[in-house]
Amino acid sequence: MHSSFSMIFGFAAALLCTGISPAGAQGLYPAYDDAFSARIASPADNGTLAQFVTVAVNAGQYDQAISSVEQYLIKYPRDARARLAASRLYYHVGSYELARRQVQYGIEVGGLSAAEQQEAVRLLARIERALRGVTWELALTGGVFSAFTDFEPGGAQDDDSFVSPYGRAEGFVRWDLGTPSADALVLSGSLTATQRFFTPDLSVPGSKETFIHGNAAITWDKGLPNSGIDSLRLLLSAFTVTDRFDSDIHETGIGLSGRFLVRPTVETTLFAGGGYIDLSASQGIFADSRVFYEAGGSYRFRNGQALGLRLVGSNDFASGSGEIGHSYMGEIRYGGVLMEVPDLFVWSHQVAVSAGHSDTPDLSVGIGTNIESDFWRIASESDFQLTEWQKVSVDLAYRETDFDIASRDRNSFELLVSYTLTLN
């Protein structure tokens, strides 16, 4: 029974390696209820205890998983794999001192495989950094982006398709300020490059250009006094952002933003915010500044799936002309973990449906004539988490865009297959 429990602990540890948060929709609550009932009925049975730990981790019930691991370690204190699993659990919930104690003891006891020993050393290094108040992460993504665009007959463009390399780097460094409300300073940024197909409303007609998106921000993550809610935080950011459409057109700006985060319950997260961007450093666009806003939230259901809603919008302004354009979009997102194969992968999947409206200057004619469009989009996003540091993603999206000039209407299908290596 001891060895079988260690095997299941390996599975629980693998689930924690994926970095899936409790609010990220995992696990099946009926299975959790059944495992909990079995544990209560047979408290001395290590097999039912092991099964409960696995299901509890899968369902995001980390406090229950921790208590069960501790109960197991009372009987088997020299089980190094169980110590490693306990350390992962404590690290995940932010109990870094306990996490360090567990992983250090697991290394001293011995009995870990070479891969587990390496992971224990890496986990210990991450714990030590967290105890010093500094955490960081860098994700490097490479893949292939493919797109097909079907234009309305009578327009200036023929149907087109292409395949392009895709690359992305993103990361953050977080400094814990040591306050009772867990305030932190976060430096973050990302850079993405691939080919995109641009049409008259955005750039030169019928052209495939290297598209580059970059951003960087410094954020003050401030905990606020609260009563009767799980969490209330304010995020204040100074940032810079750039979008390069081709050699003659790029949108570059610096700005300020604020965002409130509220968690009325463990299962619910709500947010609202807005900001301002100075676009005077841009080239080939008419806007000098932009005001943007957002609101939304997410809810985790008892079956472990999560539903998210997001509303975003913006208004563009030009000196001497007032408002020259606006856009808004709504998105609904639903998904969670679909399949878990121990020691192989965890498959999570989300479906997103969005729709919006845009009324912005047509960049192709150079005189600021506005063009209106409506769109809707559906996307399927799958992540296959192979290890803590590696995942493969397959993203599909279909979009229909209807312009006020019918000959510009178009439908597009996009596919992105990528591999991500995360360092931390």
Among 35-49, 266-280, 398-412, name the one with the lowest average pLDDT.
Answer: 35-49
Cα(208)–Cα(199) distance, rounded to whole angstroms? 9
pLDDT at 319 over 70: yes
Task: Give pLDDT, residue 125.
Answer: 86
pLDDT in tens, 151-165: 776 555 566 788 999
Cα(172)–Cα(180) distance, rounded to whole angstroms? 22
Whether 216 contacts 239, CB under 8 Å: yes
Task: Give pLDDT, residue 40.
Answer: 58
DSSP structure class, residue 205: T
Q: DSSP string of 257-277?
A: EEEEEEEEETTEEEEEEEEEE
Of 228 and 98, which is predicted with more confidence? 98
Task: Give pLDDT, residue 110.
Answer: 80
Whether 222 contacts 212, CB under 8 Å: no
171 and 309 part of one domain:
yes
The pLDDT-based confidence of 45 (bands split at 50, 70, 90) is low
* Residue range 256-270: mean pLDDT, rounded: 89
Q: Which helix (H) or strand (E) holds 56?
A: helix 46-58
- The token duo for 153 is 């007959």
Cα(138)–Cα(169) distance, rounded to whole angstroms? 7
pLDDT at 303 over 90: no
For the chain, the domain total comes to: 2
83 and 166 part of one domain:
no
Q: In the chain, what percentage of residues exceed pLDDT 90?
A: 35
Task: Give pLDDT, residue 85.
Answer: 79
Indicate the burial class of 182 (C-beta count within 10 angstroms; 0-12, 13-18, 19 or more).
middle
91 and 204 part of one domain:
no
- The token duo for 380 is 């399927």
CATH number of the CATH domain containing 237? 2.40.160.40
170 and 124 part of one domain:
no
The pLDDT-based confidence of 224 (bands split at 50, 70, 90) is confident
Task: Give pLDDT, residue 33.
Answer: 59
Smallest Cα–Cα separation from 399: which of 200, 177, 148? 148
The pLDDT-based confidence of 105 (bands split at 50, 70, 90) is confident
Kindly list the distances between the CA atom of residue 224 and the CA atoms of 68, 186, 221, in Å, as whole numbers in the listed order.
Answer: 33, 17, 10
CATH number of the CATH domain containing 48? 1.25.40.10
Task: Give pLDDT, residue 146.
Answer: 93
Of 18 and 233, which is predicted with more confidence? 233
pLDDT at 53 over 70: no
Smallest Cα–Cα separation from 252: which of 213, 202, 200, 293? 213
Which residue, of 99, 131, 163, is where some domain finishes? 131
Task: Give pLDDT, residue 291.
Answer: 97
Cα(390)–Cα(79) distance, rounded to whole angstroms? 27
Mean pLDDT of the chain: 81
Task: Give pLDDT, residue 156.
Answer: 54
pLDDT in tens, 111-154: 888 878 888 888 888 888 888 888 889 999 999 999 988 877 65
Q: In the chain, what percentage of residues exceed pLDDT 70?
A: 76
The pLDDT-based confidence of 225 (bands split at 50, 70, 90) is confident
117 and 159 part of one domain:
no
Among 137-146, 284-293, 337-346, name the one with the lowest average pLDDT.
Answer: 337-346
234 and 245 part of one domain:
yes
Among 147-151, 173-177, 185-189, 212-216, name the one with the lowest average pLDDT.
Answer: 147-151
pLDDT at 81 over 70: yes
pLDDT at 196 over 70: yes
With left for phi above 0 and alpha for psi between -120 and 50, is residue 132 left, alpha or beta?
alpha
203 and 122 part of one domain:
no
Indicate the burial class of 88 (C-beta count within 10 angstroms; 0-12, 13-18, 19 or more).
buried
99 and 44 part of one domain:
yes
**Contacts by residues 12-15 (CB-CB < 8 Å, ≥ 24 positions apart):** 12/53, 12/54, 12/57, 12/65, 12/85, 13/81, 13/84, 13/85, 13/88, 14/342, 14/343, 14/346, 15/54, 15/57, 15/58, 15/340, 15/346
Which residue, of 102, 131, 160, is where some domain finishes? 131
367 and 415 part of one domain:
yes
202 and 122 part of one domain:
no
pLDDT in tens, 358-417: 988 766 555 557 788 899 999 999 999 888 789 999 999 999 989 887 667 888 999 999
127 and 228 part of one domain:
no
The pLDDT-based confidence of 19 (bands split at 50, 70, 90) is very low
Q: 23 by DSSP, 3-state: which?
A: helix
Which residue, of 99, 115, 131, is where some domain finishes? 131
Domain extent for 87? 2-131
- The token duo for 107 is 């290394």
* Owner of token pair 């020691």: 343
Task: Give pLDDT, residue 23.
Answer: 31
169 and 111 part of one domain:
no
